[in-house]
Structure 1
């Protein structure tokens, strides 16, 4: 609003300088860019991120499969930071040697981490594997992917607004420097005669 009121104020003002009007126009253009371009950029980036992340969700769901593993023997208990998508506090997890069968029918035997507090031989627990039975991370959730896409869009919009404001400030700073340089030149021309009686007569 300050940009619009600045333009209106300088419209017919006899003290108006060219730089005053230019500053008001720069402010108005920057305001319009922040109100129009920043949301458009955020929307485009969010949409592209959403497409890429949802494609990744689909690919991971095709490549990653839940299987049931059986504890052979326990190894140690661990206190770990949990997956932020599934829980909120620290978790106690156990490291065990387990057997499982991959989606392609291959038998697997390895040390893995499970959510069992006191694992005993024969206990069963879920595990995510690739199609060959190798352990992999849980696939990305569609809702989490959408959240990441929204955050990417908001971030891009904020960065665009910040860039526009930064460019506006740089342009105004250069205008002010140029104005001060002109004032210095005018003072230098008037300086030798300033304050003398009869100057200019």
Structure 2
């Protein structure tokens, strides 16, 4: 019994596929066609592009983030500010830092100019209470910069995410390309069968 490739597509793959042979497109055999070799090189190049693009993008972004965080540690400075007004809420010695409230503080920049900003303070803090804040070179209010170890972890995480996102583009392209090559190969099988199938069947009918 002979089954055309067009009908074989509708059957479960395990019904007509034999054991998987690794790297069969790279091995010399009479059934390997030129299209199979071309597909092998194209897929190999696409996979290499996926790996290289992901690694380079991840490393580049990771180094850039770590460099930026290092600049922040150098340029940002702690400044002692004063609470402009009494903070809302009642003072409670047992209050945790997570229950702090917003309060307006004032401080003097390196050039002598006055600055104001909103920071988290303990509830009920009185006017004039000293509060340590972080500012950049222009005297703008900033958060406390990340330590060196924190910067390394943050840069590594961002680099991994960017690397995966970048590699996903050629990866999807590889999957689409392989699907098209597979459909093209099956169509070629149909064409070959339509040409040689009747000849083969004729020989079998003559008993040869």
Interval containing the TM-score (normalised by the shorter chain):
0.5 to 0.7
Q: In the TM superposition, what is the alpha-carbon distance from 1:139 to its structure 2 partner?
A: 4.4
Q: In the TM superposition, what is the alpha-carbon distance from 1:159 to its structure 2 partner?
A: 3.1
131, 134, 141: which one pairs with 2:146?
Answer: 141
How much is the aligned-residue C-alpha RMSD, in angstroms?
4.1
Give the aligned partner of residue 15 of structure 1.
31
Confirm or deny: 8 A CA contact 2:81 2:133 kept in the other structure. yes
Query: Could you say what secondary structure the match of 2:88 adopts?
Result: strand
Query: Could you say what secondary structure the match of 1:74 adopts?
Result: coil
Give the aligned partner of residue 172 of structure 1.
178
Give the aligned partner of residue 50 of structure 1.
66
73, 91, 109: which one pairs with 2:86?
Answer: 73
Query: Could you say what secondary structure the match of 2:29 adopts?
Result: coil
Moved more, 144-153 or 30-39: 30-39
Quick one: distance in 2 between partners of 1:53 and 1:100? 24
Confirm or deny: 8 A CA contact 1:66 1:128 kept in the other structure. yes
Q: In the TM superposition, what is the alpha-carbon distance from 1:69 to its structure 2 partner?
A: 0.9
Runs of 5+ unmatched residues, structure 1: 78-88
User: In the superposition, relative to structure 1, how do residues 157 and 15 fare at CA in structure 2: closer, same or farther (>3 Å)?
Assistant: same
Q: In the TM superposition, what is the alpha-carbon distance from 1:194 to its structure 2 partner?
A: 9.3
Quick one: distance in 1 between partners of 2:66 and 2:117? 36
Aligned length: 180
Query: Could you say what secondary structure the match of 1:114 adopts?
Result: strand
Runs of 5+ unmatched residues, structure 2: 1-20, 91-95
Q: In the TM superposition, what is the alpha-carbon distance from 1:111 to its structure 2 partner?
A: 7.5
TM-score by length of 1: 0.62
Q: In the TM superposition, what is the alpha-carbon distance from 1:6 to its structure 2 partner?
A: 0.7
TM-score by length of 2: 0.60
Give the aligned partner of residue 85 of structure 1.
none
Alpha-carbon displacement from aligned partner over 1:25-65 (angstroms, at most 9, x marks no partner):
33433444455554334323322333344334434x1xx54
Confirm or deny: 8 A CA contact 1:70 1:124 kept in the other structure. yes
Show the 5 A alignment for 1:1-201.
5-7=22-24, 10-34=26-50, 36=52, 38-59=54-75, 61=76, 64-70=77-83, 72-76=85-89, 91-96=98-103, 98=105, 100-106=107-113, 112-129=118-135, 136-143=141-148, 144-189=150-195
Q: In the TM superposition, what is the alpha-carbon distance from 1:155 to its structure 2 partner?
A: 2.6
Quick one: distance in 2 between partners of 1:42 and 1:131? 30
Confirm or deny: 8 A CA contact 2:80 2:133 kept in the other structure. yes
